Amino acid sequence: MESINAKYVSQKISKTRWKPVSYSSLQQPEVFATGSWDNEDNKISFWSIGNHGGPGMEDGFEGDPQLLCEHKHDGDVLDLQFLDQDRIVTTSSTGAVTIFRHHQNSQTISVSQHWTRAHRYPCDNAPCTGVVCSSPEIVTVGEDGRIIVFRADQEGVIRVIENADSSTIHAVTYLRTTEILTVNSIGQLKLWDFRQQSNSPSQILSLSGDRVPLHCVDRHPNQQHIVATGGQDGMLCVWDVRQGNTPFSLMEAHSAEMWEVHFHPTNPDHLFTCSEDGSLLHWETSSHSEMPSFLQGGRNNSMLSRSAMAPAGGNQSLISTWLSGDSSKGRLETTHMLPSQTLSVNSLDVLGQCLVCGTDGEAIFVNRQVPV
């Protein structure tokens, strides 16, 4: 735990995201953005873990996050994504979608686009729960069951799928350039193909049995058909959208809601989850073969996994096979990434060897030496 810096920020943090770094450069990320929730005045903030003062820094550790600038945000920040190096998109509990620009020379933030009440009920605002960006395209989802497509360079709305869902859509991600994936409050994953004019999903997958709300989704960066989700029961589900309509595997992960799941963007043998139970888990596959083991696709590759002891019960050692087959058996190991705490870890992001997370304990944790 020595490599973790904790910064107390006097506001509950709902979202944390690293500013992208170019793949060509091997540099580690230095700047991240946070959004807050459940405070009198919410805001978005930009932070740096760069070593500003040279080696002889007096104020804090190397890597202790320094606030660069902040801006008021109407409503809770329910999601936050970087559109490019200078702009972030936030979604609000008021139903609004906003693009903020970070001016790096003056360290100020300005609003560059704002769509008020993009998500709404007939007589009230509907929280906008999730956003995914592929510049200039922006896709949002909400409690109103709508999917909305915007472009950063246009003021109007490009497309609305009005009744995409009869329940709350909690999260959205791209599957491919023209396809998105949404998860909802009745345990369903829906695929949407934007090449179709149809307002219905091209595929629906769902948890069998109890319709446990799904809160988060992430796609494997190299194998687009492999998707991880987490939900209200704290289980980690891995899906193969090419086959079957139910999860490939279910693993005991957390003892309360899982708020976010992220594959490592460049080393997807590693996956990270965070939860209402106050924990952040690092899932790592260790394979005994030459091939990277993590869900390499194909039928002859199998994965044995043994979950971490769930913090509550302590006696679950669930064995599950991630992909069926008989060669290159591997094992999944889980590590707790944070000192034990009681309040929810709401958000995490990982890039290079750097991990950042935000909590209801009004803290941001940064780890610059994630073993990936």
Predicted confidence (pLDDT) per residue in 143-200, tens digit: 999 999 999 999 999 999 999 999 999 999 999 999 999 999 999 999 999 999 999 9
**The predicted structure's pLDDT at residue 312:** 33
The pTM for the full model equals: 0.86
305 phi and psi angles, rounded to 5 deg: -135, 145
Pick out the chain residues at pLDDT < 50. 53-61, 288-329
**The predicted structure's pLDDT at residue 50:** 80
Tokens read off for 297: 């696709």
Query: Tens digit of pLDDT for each residue in 83-115?
Result: 999 999 999 999 999 999 999 999 999 999 999
Cα 38 to Cα 12, 53, 120, 192, 234, distances in angstroms: 7, 34, 20, 32, 23
DSSP code per residue over 229-280: EEETT-EEEEEETTS-SS-SEEEE--SS-EEEEEE-SS-TTEEEEEETTS-E
**The predicted structure's pLDDT at residue 237:** 93
**The predicted structure's pLDDT at residue 243:** 84
Query: By C-alpha distance, which of 297, 302, 253 is closest to 274?
Result: 253
Residue 228 sits at the vertex; the CA angle it makes with 275 and 303, to the nearest 5 degrees, is 110
